[in-house]
Amino acid sequence: MKVAVVGATGLVGTKMLQVLEERNFPVSELIPVASEKSIGKLIQFKGQEYPVVSYQECIQRKPTIALFSAGGSTSLALAPEFAAAGIRVIDNSSAWRMDPDKKLVVPEVNGHVLTASDYIIANPNCSTIQMVMVLKPLHLQYRIKRVVVSTYQSVTGTGVKAVTQLMNERAGLDGEKAYPHPIDLNVIPHIDVFMENGYTKEEMKMIWETKKILEDNTIAVTATTVRIPVMGGHSESVNLEFDRDFKLDEIRSLLSQTAGVTVQDDVLQNIYPMPLWAHDKDDVFVGRLRRDESQPNSLNCWIVSDNLRKGAATNAVQIAEYLRRKDFI
């Protein structure tokens, strides 16, 4: 099986290569693709070196599947070309997520929507992925009426430029900036561009995508997304209002039995999810489970996951694995 990684030299592309190798995805030939300045650069994969090629050469070599992490404009331009050549695209950008003709997939949550005719498949926003992993079993059991989420997002979600800005600031060095303000010793309530309604696009992504993935437009969702000076994971404070009441022990049991979710909820032992614990792991971690005492049928929780893995690379590879299990590839 020939596998292309488009954007192979970026943070997520590099992580995709790592996850493909770790999960022993059956790659007979790797085709790394990146911008023109990286063509010819050698990429290490499973003990071999593969040169970065142009997207035109990649299409000519007819990979079975292409994992895209090269930005929205690149995906809009190239994904249809790949699909037209019979190459299945799993795209990590926001380009296709809300297209009504494209599937937006977290395999454990809504993998059932995929069919053999899907040639461009959207990987959701990293913050949405980790949240819906926890929401899905609770929605099935109690029906969620409303979600209020505030995020605490790692600089790795922005990319290499943001990581460099943080480390430069910590070292007292000048350099290129990814953010309009300092990020070290600061939090910035501004991810992506501001929209006319006063929300950022990142906040609206969480609102729109949650409804689409859970296949329920009646769920009310509101979000505030914030960038913080950490690397290795996104954190979320989530408040859920259900149709009916619940017992906390039932919630813990339900989430403990959910594939891909790990409950860390022992406050007497200071055990709760943190980015340090989630770093380089594929599970979504949930804790600080407690009843919202301000209104009925409501739950507070804290959700953490490695945004480069389950929030991006691992989810994309899991989609490819799902397609393979279904004999779609």
pLDDT in tens, 93-115: 999 999 999 999 999 999 999 99
Q: Which helix (H) or strand (E) holds 214?
A: helix 201-214
Distance CA 167, CA 175 (A): 10
Of the candidates 127, 62, 63, the residue with the CA atom closest to the CA atom of residue 94: 127
Distance CA 299, CA 304 (A): 16
Each domain of the chain, given as residue ranges in start order, spans: 2-124+312-325, 127-307
Which pLDDT does position 12 carry in this prediction? 95
Give the global pTM. Answer: 0.96
| Mean pLDDT on 6-31 | 96
Q: Which of 126, 139, 279, 301 is catalytic?
A: 126
pLDDT digits (tens, 9 = 90+) for 26-76: 999 999 999 999 999 999 999 999 999 999 999 999 999 999 999 999 999
What is the topology classification, in CATH, of domain 2-124+312-325? Answer: Rossmann fold (3.40.50)
Three-class secondary structure of residue 290 per DSSP: strand
Which pLDDT does position 232 carry in this prediction? 83
Which pLDDT does position 126 carry in this prediction? 97
205: pLDDT confidence band, cut at 50, 70 and 90? very high
User: Does residue 82 carry a pLDDT above 90?
Assistant: yes
Helix and strand numbers (H, E) in the chain are: 10, 14
Largest CA distance in the chain: 60
Distance CA 191, CA 227 (A): 7
Catalytic annotation present for 279: no
Distant-in-sequence contacts of 219-223, Cβ < 8 A, 24+ apart: 219/139, 219/144, 219/145, 219/146, 219/147, 220/145, 220/146, 220/147, 221/146, 221/147, 221/149, 222/146, 222/147, 222/148, 222/149, 223/148, 223/149, 223/150, 223/151, 223/199
User: Does residue 194 carry a pLDDT above 90?
Assistant: yes
Three-class secondary structure of residue 7 per DSSP: coil
User: Would you state the structure tokens that stand for residue 214, as one six-digit string?
Assistant: 């859970």
The tally of CA atoms less than 13 A away on the side-chain side of residue 219 is 29
| Mean pLDDT on 169-184 | 97
- Contact criterion met (CB below 8 Å) for 272 and 264: yes
Rounded percentage of the chain residues whose pLDDT exceeds 90: 99
Q: Which of 139, 234, 279, 301 is catalytic?
A: 234
175: pLDDT confidence band, cut at 50, 70 and 90? very high
User: Would you state the structure tokens that stand for residue 199, as one six-digit string?
Assistant: 């929300």
Which pLDDT does position 300 carry in this prediction? 98
| Mean pLDDT on 118-137 | 98
Q: Could you say which DSSP state residue 102 is in? A: S
Strand pairing partners for 90?
67, 121
| Mean pLDDT on 246-265 | 98
| Mean pLDDT on 197-210 | 98
Catalytic annotation present for 58: no
- Calculate helix-pair angle for 11-22, 314-325, nearest 10 degrees: 50
Compute, in degrees rounded to 10, the torsion defined by CA atoms 110, 111, 115, 118. 90
User: Does residue 155 carry a pLDDT above 90?
Assistant: yes
- Contact criterion met (CB below 8 Å) for 209 and 135: no
pLDDT digits (tens, 9 = 90+) for 86-95: 999 999 999 9
Distance CA 127, CA 148 (A): 13
State which CATH number among 3.30.70.260, 3.30.300.10, 3.30.1330.10, 3.30.360.10 fits the domain covering 127-307: 3.30.360.10
Distance CA 131, CA 11 (A): 22
User: Does residue 15 carry a pLDDT above 90?
Assistant: yes
User: Does residue 319 carry a pLDDT above 90?
Assistant: yes
Of the candidates 39, 40, 44, 41, the residue with the CA atom closest to the CA atom of residue 21: 44
